[in-house]
Chains A and B, each alone.
Chain A
């Protein structure tokens, strides 16, 4: 949500919803995946996430535009097929419209005019002045769909402007026409009557001509093939993980490590020498390992703090979001939902939950936010719980490769296998025990589109920036806190208090309690704390599994609270703690049993 540059609230003294200000309130409305967010970015200059799948905008974003020398607030409303809500996004859309609007820009997908007219008519029936942006005009032409614009204007009673939002064509015409926005002649009507009216309009304004099958059509058909489509889905995921590791490690060995070792470390050494022994050095630089600074283990804010965040996690964040953004803009994700629906259906969530789940592999926070695309409370609870327990974010994955990598790939593979098993078993248990109703999959699959490099890179930058803004203060603050608590002796007491659980159940030394507890703040910190303990491979595996299954960070905890509410969040947290202890305890038991025989 971005209203910082509006200023009409007088620094919060007036509510943003105050309707008595001079500023016009303009809504940007339309079906899902018609390009509203692209319009919004073009009109306001505020960057928002846009992708090629329905439901990218889940909250709403507000910005300011200027047209005809009047100022206006523009609101990017989540996509809705209808104002009779069938999901949360449509409910939000309905509420925003209820709050009142001076004008509405109705963004319409020219390639699916008939269906889009439902929402258009519903808005026009309310007598709100509107203009229609007939978007994806180029794609419609490619598909052989011809639309008579003057006729459509006549039928709808409002201005219609053809646009291509991604290239910006028609945007200035749209601004010009905005002052001609006017109420239409439609009166409120029944659903049946509305379909009848649409049925009469369509043949008058649209003609569909023959077109040959294109490569994209074939690719779309193949992606939905029962066998090939399924294999393709698994291949895309497997190739994705391989590519992320490859790119991430490449960035580490050729970019970040050389920078840290050749540029940053010498500076730190100088600082360390200048500070001599003392509090400041302990906090900023940390402990010296064998007389030198160790970026992984020294645990200072400027040494380990910065290195973990920028040297170990950031490269994977960049690699992950490059891959995900590409799949998003290509339009592949909803196809993955089709492939995984049969499996996820057995967990009480439908295939579309694969999108929040995939997002969760980057960072659990956007993953849990994205569960809003699911229709029922029950589904959202299951999906959010499964993400926070069984889906390791990039920080967790960086942590597990940093701590377990030296013992061999088998240990890393073991963690992924355990997480997958937990995800499968927990999903099944939740489906069998939770009461309530889970709606089934009914989705539109967008056509494949070739992603533009420019859109991809700005999206990547947007996400990396969001990550850094959110994670950096937590990591640096967390390391500062660890140092302070350790100095005060609090750490020691905490470790002693929970050591019976750690020693008895998990077979871990009391000292391992500190990384696990601090891991609740941020997993990247836990990694820095875990490495110096000198645990055996088995102990490290247990600690990492417990860490991976608990909250990735405090931000995830907060977002779960906001999204699920206090009661459900507590329930989800209990499930998580119980499952993590159970998995860690079972591993410890297995290792003990194995060593006896």
Chain B
């Protein structure tokens, strides 16, 4: 039952702490523009770190960075849960000109 619910479309408040998800839809207007400016846009894979109590914000991680989004806006961000992305390759010297 739970697994089924997790698959269906849901918002950021509904997923459990520590779960990975893919952003499906962000609200339109001002809030959406601000989310987008931070790089939080549809298609991005995020990890929900926590939801603060008493209607507090949701903290999530995108590309190793933390972001906080108010309760009200988190409710408008549609996501779908995904499994944790697979391990990244170990550092190799094949990449030539890195800093």
Contact = CB atoms under 8 A, between A and B. Distances in A.
Interface of A: 81-82, 84, 86, 110-112, 114-115, 118, 134, 137, 140-141, 143-144, 146-151, 162, 191, 195, 207-211, 220-221, 224-227, 229-230, 334, 337-339, 341-343, 345, 350-351, 439-445, 447
A162 B97 CA distance: 12
Given A209-B89, A351-B57, A442-B35, A110 B51 contact: no
Greatest chain A CB density within 10 A among B31, B34, B95 is at B34
A443 B98 CA distance: 30
Nearest to A170: B99
Contacts of B98: 141, 146-149, 207
Given A82-B37, A112-B63, A144-B91, 8 more contacts: A114-B63, A195-B41, A210-B89, A224-B49, A226-B50, A226-B56, A441-B68, A441-B73
Q: Which of B63, B66, B87, B96 has the most CB of A within 10 A?
A: B66
Contacts of A118: 37, 39
Contacts of A81: 37-38
Given A112-B63, A210-B87, A342-B52, A148 B97 contact: yes
A442 to B, nearest CB: 5
Contacts of A114: 39, 63
B88 interface: yes
A118 B30 CA distance: 17
Nearest to B64: A143
Interface string B66-99: 1111111100000000000001111110011111
A226 B90 contact: no
A342 B73 contact: no
A440 B64 contact: no
A112 B39 contact: yes
Contact of A439 (B30, B51, B92, B96): B30
Contacts of B91: 144, 146, 209-210
Interface string B21-55: 00000000011011111110100000001111111
A164 B55 CA distance: 39
A334 B68 contact: yes
Which 6 pairs of residues, A with B, have the shortest CB-CB distance?
A115-B39, A440-B70, A146-B98, A81-B37, A342-B56, A445-B66
Contacts of B17: 226
Given A441-B68, A444-B65, A207 B50 contact: no
Given A111-B65, A342-B56, A445-B67, A86 B50 contact: no
A144 B88 contact: yes
A509 B4 CA distance: 73
Contacts of B50: 224-226, 229
A81 B73 CA distance: 19
Contacts of B13: none
A337 B68 contact: yes
Interface size range of chain B in the complex: 35 or more
A111 B61 CA distance: 13
B40 to A, nearest CB: 8
B15 interface: no
Contacts of A112: 39, 63, 65
A134 B72 CA distance: 35
B88 A209 contact: yes
Nearest to B88: A210
A86 B37 contact: yes
B64 to A, nearest CB: 6
Contacts of A334: 68
Nearest to B90: A210
A134 B73 CA distance: 32
A141 B66 CA distance: 18
Nearest to A334: B68
Contact of B49 (A195, A221, A341): A221
Contacts of B49: 221, 224
Given A86-B34, A226-B51, A441 B99 contact: no
Contact of A146 (B35, B51, B72, B99): B99
B31 A443 contact: no
A149 B97 contact: yes
A110 B53 contact: no
A147 B99 CA distance: 6
A443 B70 CA distance: 9
A153 B99 CA distance: 13
Contacts of B64: 111, 143
Nearest to A447: B65
Contacts of B73: 440-442
A110 B64 CA distance: 12
A338 B71 CA distance: 11
